[in-house]
Amino acid sequence: MLDTYREVVTPEGVALHLPAAGPVPRALAWGIDLAIRMGVVMVMGMVLAMLGKAGEGLYLIGLFLVFWAYPIVLESAWHGQTPGKKAMGLRVVSADGAPLGWLAAITRNLLRTVDMLPFGYAVGLVACLADPHGRRLGDMVAGTLVVHVGAEREHVPAPINAVHVPPVGLRPEEQAAVVAFGERAPQLTPSRQEELADIAAPITGTHGQAGVLRLYGMANWLLGRR
């Protein structure tokens, strides 16, 4: 893997790359939403306090809606985002990349009661760290994924300075990996390029910068740049 993207292949054969979000940006987004909800609760409490006993009942109803309906309604109606997620550049989508539905939003948010156990979202944190795509239990059950929002960086063509025929036959997934390296490696640091090229040393037969150039040449050959 060149990065932490989750690849989903659609029925049409199109590969979608979903940049999965880790626990840190998700926790920051949750903190922003918590601050917003606490502010709403404080204002609501001051206003409803003037209504006496009737205000107490309305306050309990409002409290329930703020802490439970807030994430469900916003994620379902606002393209998988709450104000906190929007501020952190995050979005909730279905595991296949489709927009989030109401049922999935309800499921993932109701299961927060499990992720919160025993305190401080400990279960959810362990699940995020153990899952390769940073999902908590609610996401696993609901079939959802929290991803970073933003246009994918434009791929840079591999430098056309050499063409190398792979010394051995490459499987389709290996060919795709070499082509991906050729398109995206120019955006990586030289040390990261060499680190990835060293993984392919059994194919290139060399290491370091020489391996990087050899992979570029193989990518050119696979792309038909003779």
What integer is the mean pLDDT of 6-19?
Answer: 69
The pLDDT value given to residue 104: 94
Share of the chain above pLDDT 90, in %: 37
Task: State the CB neighbour count (10 A cutoff) for residue 202.
Answer: 8
CB 21 within 8 A of CB 147: yes
Please tell me whether residues 113 and 202 are part of one structural domain.
no
Residue 72 pLDDT greater than 90, yes or no: yes
The pLDDT value given to residue 1: 39
- Please count the structural domains in the chain: 2
Please tell me whether residues 43 and 136 are part of one structural domain.
yes
**135 contacts: CB under 8 Å, gap ≥ 6:** 20, 127, 128, 144, 145, 146
How far, rounded to the nearest angstrom, does the alpha carbon of residue 116 sit from its chain's CA centroid? 21
Please tell me whether residues 99 and 26 are part of one structural domain.
yes
In a domain, 165, yes or no: no
Who wins on pLDDT, 17 or 103? 103
Q: What is the spatial distance between Cα 204 and Cα 52, in angstroms, rounded to a whole number? A: 78
- Residue 6 backbone phi and psi in degrees, to 5: -95, 120
In a domain, 167, yes or no: no
In a domain, 160, yes or no: no
Q: Which residues pair with 5 in a beta bridge?
A: 19
In a domain, 44, yes or no: yes
- Predicted confidence (pLDDT) per residue in 79-122, tens digit: 999 999 999 999 999 988 889 999 999 999 999 999 999 888 89
Query: Would you call the peptide bond into 132 cis, given omega within 30 degrees of 0 as the criterion?
Result: no
Please tell me whether residues 37 and 139 are part of one structural domain.
yes
Please tell me whether residues 131 and 191 are part of one structural domain.
no
DSSP 66: I
In a domain, 134, yes or no: yes
Average pLDDT in the chain: 84
- Predicted confidence (pLDDT) per residue in 130-166, tens digit: 888 889 999 999 999 999 886 545 545 555 567 777 7
Q: Which two tokens stand for residue 38?
A: 């606490």
Task: Indicate the pLDDT class of residue 10, thresholds 50, 70 and 90.
Answer: low
Q: What is the spatial distance between Cα 218 and Cα 87, in angstroms, rounded to a whole number? A: 41
In a domain, 124, yes or no: yes
Of the ranges 4-18, 169-183, 190-204, which one carries the lowest mean pLDDT score?
4-18
Q: What is the spatial distance between Cα 147 and Cα 26, in angstroms, rounded to a whole number? A: 10
Q: What is the spatial distance between Cα 23 and Cα 125, in angstroms, rounded to a whole number? A: 7
Q: What is the spatial distance between Cα 145 and Cα 189, in angstroms, rounded to a whole number? A: 29
Please tell me whether residues 180 and 130 are part of one structural domain.
no
Please tell me whether residues 141 and 178 are part of one structural domain.
no
Please tell me whether residues 142 and 196 are part of one structural domain.
no
Containing structural domain, residue 143: 5-148
Please tell me whether residues 9 and 95 are part of one structural domain.
yes
Please tell me whether residues 209 and 107 are part of one structural domain.
no
What integer is the mean pLDDT of 61-68?
Answer: 91
Please tell me whether residues 112 and 63 are part of one structural domain.
yes
The pLDDT value given to residue 226: 61
Q: What is the pTM of this model?
A: 0.63
**145 contacts: CB under 8 Å, gap ≥ 6:** 6, 18, 20, 92, 93, 94, 95, 133, 135, 139
Q: Which two tokens stand for residue 59?
A: 């306050």
Please tell me whether residues 187 and 98 are part of one structural domain.
no
Tokens 């393209």 map to which residue?
79
The pLDDT value given to residue 121: 87
In a domain, 40, yes or no: yes
The pLDDT value given to residue 13: 59
In a domain, 153, yes or no: no
The pLDDT value given to residue 14: 60
Q: Domain boundary at 115, 148, 181, which?
A: 148
3-state secondary structure of 206: coil
Q: Which residues pair with 92 in a beta bridge?
A: 146
